[in-house]
Amino acid sequence: MYLITVFGNLLLILAVISDPHLHTPMYFFLCNLSFVDICYTSTTVPKMLVNIQTHNKAITYEGCITQLYFFIVFVTLDILLLTVMAYDRFVAICHPLHYVVIMNPQVCGLLVLGSWVPSNLISLLQSLMILRLSFCTDLEIPSFFCELKQIVPLACSDTFLNDLFIYFGAVLVGICPLTGILYSYSKIISSLRGISSAQGKYKAFSTCVSHLSVVSLFYCTSLGVYLSSASPHNSYSSAFASVMYTVVTPMLNPFIYSLRNKDLKRTLEAFFTRGPTKG
């Protein structure tokens, strides 16, 4: 599953770079999302695979904090990029005549940069809040990686501030972007009502189906993690839900986009057809 995730997302990036027709804002954001998905999965799965092979589930304190930092960075980036992609679809459908002007290369670059900066700041803040806590020795984390919601309850010191920052971060990173995505799609649906032909409506909305599928998959599995982690005696279901949104979702993203997108599918077919001929 890890290899499929890495090679699937790499193949998607290479396909977009190799085809000049795909050098548009939508595919630029998709390439960034694929890169983040590779990094996002790589923060947890390789360590898990080592644990399975060595039959040793131990992790050092420094290693745990490092894993936690990068995991928060990339999961926040994933959410913010999905929000940026929703805005891109909103401009493309609701303001098609001004799309090239609004979504120019400078704006696209600023939107991606605007996703990286807050992701690192939020992750740094959460990691520093963990460093202020004191832990007893020989702790057991009820997950296969160092997850914020699983680490904080294990602390021996007061965790009120940490809990406060976790809930604040959940609102800032989870609810606010989701509100932006829902607002964008409410405007898109409102704009689609003004299109008279059914074929025109289908063509316009078909560009959003892949993005909607990925957003639904990501948010549903993430919600499953937090609902299952709310029960302290349900560590198995919590770990299973964590696998869903840290391993399964990034693996499925390239398939969702390539199967639903005719341009990308055509590029991938040409990419594979051209490869053996050159070889």
Confidence check: pLDDT of 237 > 50: yes
pLDDT of residue 252: 86
Residue 62 CB-density burial (10 A; 0-12 exposed, 13-18 middle, 19+ buried): exposed
pLDDT band at 3 (very low <50, low <70, confident <90, very high): very high
Name the CATH code of domain 2-278 (choices 1.20.1250.20, 3.40.50.880, 3.30.980.10, 1.20.1070.10). Answer: 1.20.1070.10
C-alpha distances (whole Å) from 13 to each of 34, 37, 66, 78 are 7, 11, 27, 16
| Whether 1 contacts 251, CB under 8 Å | yes
| Whether 28 contacts 273, CB under 8 Å | no
Helix (H, G, I), strand (E, B) or coil at 10: helix
Residue 195, number of CB atoms within 10 A of its CB: 15
236: phi then psi, degrees, rounded to nearest 5: -65, -50
H/E stretch holding 91 reads: helix 61-94
| Whether 213 contacts 260, CB under 8 Å | yes
230: phi then psi, degrees, rounded to nearest 5: -70, -25
| Whether 268 contacts 258, CB under 8 Å | yes
CA distance 75 to 58: 23
Confidence check: pLDDT of 244 > 80: no
More confident residue, 132 or 228: 132
pLDDT of residue 171: 85
* Beta-carbon contacts of residue 128 (< 8 Å; ≥ 6 apart): none
Specify the range with the lowest mean pLDDT, choosing from 109-123, 147-161, 162-176, 219-233. 219-233
Confidence check: pLDDT of 269 > 90: no
Confidence check: pLDDT of 4 > 60: yes
Confidence check: pLDDT of 231 > 80: no
Q: What is the mean pLDDT of the chain?
A: 85
* pLDDT digits 0-9 by tens, 149-203: 888 888 888 888 888 988 888 888 888 899 999 999 999 888 888 777 777 777 7
pLDDT of residue 230: 55
pLDDT band at 276 (very low <50, low <70, confident <90, very high): very low
More confident residue, 178 or 274: 178
For residue 135, the cross-strand partners are 155
CA distance 89 to 92: 5
pLDDT of residue 260: 63
Q: What pTM was computed for the model? A: 0.88
Find the radius of gyration of the CA atoms of the chain: 20
3-state secondary structure 95-131: CHHHHHHHCCHHHHHHHHHHHHHHHHHHHHHHHHHHH
Residue 66 CB-density burial (10 A; 0-12 exposed, 13-18 middle, 19+ buried): middle
pLDDT of residue 234: 58
